[in-house]
Structure 1
Amino acid sequence: MNLVVLAEDVDSIALKNVAKLTGAREIVQITPRSFRLVAAQAHPDLARNCAAGGLDYAWLPSGRQLRDFGLFVTDMDSTLINIECIDEIADMQGLKAQVAQITEAAMQGEIDFRESLARRVSLLAGLPESALGEVYAHRLQLNPGAERLVKGLQRAGIRTVLVSGGFTYFTERLKQRLGFDYAFANELEVLDGRLTGRVLGEIIDGAAKANHLLRIRDELGLQPHQVIAAGDGANDIPMLNAAGFGVAFHPKAALRQVADCCIEHSGLDGLLDLFG
């Protein structure tokens, strides 16, 4: 295993400190933003030292390349995009603080996702459907590096999946905008131009996210080690566990514990720099 460190602007002193700490035999530049520390050894102070130096890191098998993967599955809210859509929709009702509190508890794994979704969506009853368009047009932004990441994965021939505990209104637009191969999310019920406070059909929770990953992986004839998954909260744990390489983007504590790599200082496209 080799240690790979990366950042938007790698501090050479921080890099050398990590190399010394881990006893690395050599520092090899992979991209302008990433370096391989050859023959590095695990150290209990690695995470603390990387954080102090503004570095993200991951342990990777020697020779692992991006082209070795065939499928990438990512969460939407607070991973691909900068907001929790339901919180912003609730803001149109003056209920953002109340809904955001439930969202945070669900992302931390403190309450069941299905229960949290039902409670939050019920508070949206009566809101005009046009509020969704307002959120998409004026509040939703891609997280740094998102577009470069998706394009890089596509160039490498990797199929891409957007799967979210959020809503189809947003995933379908992002699918078209970025060129995802698949998109899955919850569908808000609308009657007479207003939200009813209910969700139609299958609920996309953590288990459903993992199931979509497994189904598409099998349809493509891929092995587990050929799948990358990315997320930020407890609802993404089953999905990351089902993938060969799990990426946690600015993660909640629960997800950090199961991820192969935590990206906190780089953009989403830091994933491309891990593999060169």
Structure 2
Amino acid sequence: MKFKALAIDVDGVITKIHSAWKYIHECLNVQEKAKVNAELYYSGKISYYKWAELDIKLWRNISYDELIKLFEKLEIREYSKEFFDFLKSKKIKIIAISGGLTPLLETLSKKLYFDFYVANDIFFDKERKLNGKFKINVTPKNKGKILASILDRLGINNNECIGIGDSEFDIPMLKLCGYKIAFNPKNEELIRIADEIIFSDTFYELYEKFRKIL
């Protein structure tokens, strides 16, 4: 099988942090209030949309530039650049799908050159301050639909796509793919459906693996 695309999660896979949302909470010292919001969601008392709304309210007055500076400080895994540069040399389309935040993916794409990226949008006013408005593009259940739409647009068959993820939210995306990699997986079903399981703090093993299969 000749592979033509890679679908990859971001938080906890490319980045060492497991949630861009939690990272911002910690940077702004609002993590305790955010825990209350999370408990409301996981107990079924509020929707995913409402959870996002409450979390974003905790960040009021942060500017776009301040947010980008925080994301620029984030560490990505060693060998990430080499890995993505190699994919580009093989003309593999790179599709990043994240339940995190679009400004983070914008920042990463400047280094890693994603062909497509989808995350959750947050909006800013004329003074470039967060205005509280947002758009949820990625939910815990729709990564598969997002990937299917992008592959259809590219004219790439599902079996020609490799998927990499680490959590249960990546399962719908990986189920579509012809080759499934669980990277530092935290979920038993993800481990069960994976063609390959990798535990590593870096992308070196991924890089070497892809040099063999592409």
Q: Same fold by TM-score, threshold 0.5 exceeded?
A: yes
For the pair 1:135 / 2:82, whether they are aligned, the reply is no
- How far is 1:160 from its partner? 0.7
Aligned to 2:30: 95
- Paired with 2:81 and 2:123, the residues of 1 have a C-alpha distance of 30
Aligned positions of 1:90-239 closer than 5 A: 90-99=25-34, 114=49, 116-138=51-73, 140-191=74-125, 192-200=127-135, 202-239=136-173
- Paired with 1:147 and 1:123, the residues of 2 have a C-alpha distance of 33
Cα deviation 1:43-102 (Å, max 9, x = unaligned): xxxxxxxxxxxxxxxxxxxxx6xxx10010111111111222222211233123554787
Structure 1 residues 110, 218: closer, same or farther in 2, change over 3 A?
Answer: farther
- Paired with 1:161 and 1:115, the residues of 2 have a C-alpha distance of 27
What TM-score does the superposition give when structure 2 sets the normalisation length?
0.80
Q: Is the 8 A contact 2:11 2:100 kept in 1?
A: yes
Q: How many matched pairs?
A: 206
Cα deviation 1:158-216 (Å, max 9, x = unaligned): 1111121111211112222211111111111223433244413x421244422231122
- Which amino acid in 2 is paired with 1:190? F
Q: Which runs of 5+ in 1 are unaligned?
A: 1-63
Structure 1 residues 263, 132: closer, same or farther in 2, change over 3 A?
Answer: same
Structure 1 residues 257, 124: closer, same or farther in 2, change over 3 A?
Answer: farther
Q: Which has the larger radius of gyration?
A: 1
**Once structures 1 and 2 are overlaid, which stretch shifts more, 121-130 or 182-191?**
121-130
What is the percent sequence identity of the aligned residues? Answer: 24
After TM superposition, the runs of 4+ consecutive aligned structure 1 residues lying more than 4 A away are 100-106, 109-116
- Paired with 1:110 and 1:149, the residues of 2 have a C-alpha distance of 39
SS in 1 for 2:193: coil
What TM-score does the superposition give when structure 1 sets the normalisation length?
0.64
Q: Is the 8 A contact 2:162 2:180 kept in 1?
A: yes
- How far is 1:110 from its partner? 8.5
- How far is 1:262 from its partner? 2.1
Q: Is the 8 A contact 2:72 2:107 kept in 1?
A: no
- Paired with 1:272 and 1:104, the residues of 2 have a C-alpha distance of 38
Structure 1 residues 115, 143: closer, same or farther in 2, change over 3 A?
Answer: farther
Aligned to 1:264: 199
CA RMSD, 1 decimal: 2.9
Q: Which runs of 5+ in 2 are unaligned?
A: none
- Paired with 1:142 and 1:132, the residues of 2 have a C-alpha distance of 17
Structure 1 residues 100, 226: closer, same or farther in 2, change over 3 A?
Answer: farther
Q: If each structure's helix is expressed as a fraction of its own residues, which one has the higher value? A: 2
- Which amino acid in 2 is paired with 1:199? F
Query: Which of 252, 258, 261 does residue 186 from structure 2 map onto?
Result: 252
- Which amino acid in 1 is paired with 2:198? I
Aligned positions of 1:56-67 closer than 5 A: none
- How far is 1:253 from its partner? 1.9
Aligned to 1:37: none
